[in-house]
Amino acid sequence: HRIIDIALIPEVQGQGLGSAVLQDLMEEARDAGKALSIHVEKENPAMRLYHRLGFEKREDKGVYDLMEHPCQT
């Protein structure tokens, strides 16, 4: 499963909505037996969220890092 783009308007950031969306996607990927991945700009503040949720850097793509959450069955 690959996340193409995810963004929240500033007024709702920091309220747990991003975490909730990502956790739902992680559950969906896990149920399908797939890893979940996304390209994240290295300087994106959301990188902390991805690390906190267990995403790991899989590949350096220059400006972006390929982040992946492994399938946990």
Query: Given pLDDT bands bounded at 50, 70 and 90, which one contains residue 50?
Result: very high
Where do the structural domains in the chain lie, given as residue ranges? 16-69
**Is 73 a residue whose pLDDT tops 80?**
no
More confident residue, 71 or 13: 13
In angstroms, rounded to a whole number, what is the distance separating the alpha carbons of residues 18 and 13? Answer: 8
pLDDT tens readout for residues 5-31? 999 999 998 899 999 999 999 999 999
Q: Which residues does 23 contact at the CB level (< 8 Å), separation at least 6? A: 53
Task: Name the phi and psi angles at 59, rounded to 5.
Answer: -160, 140
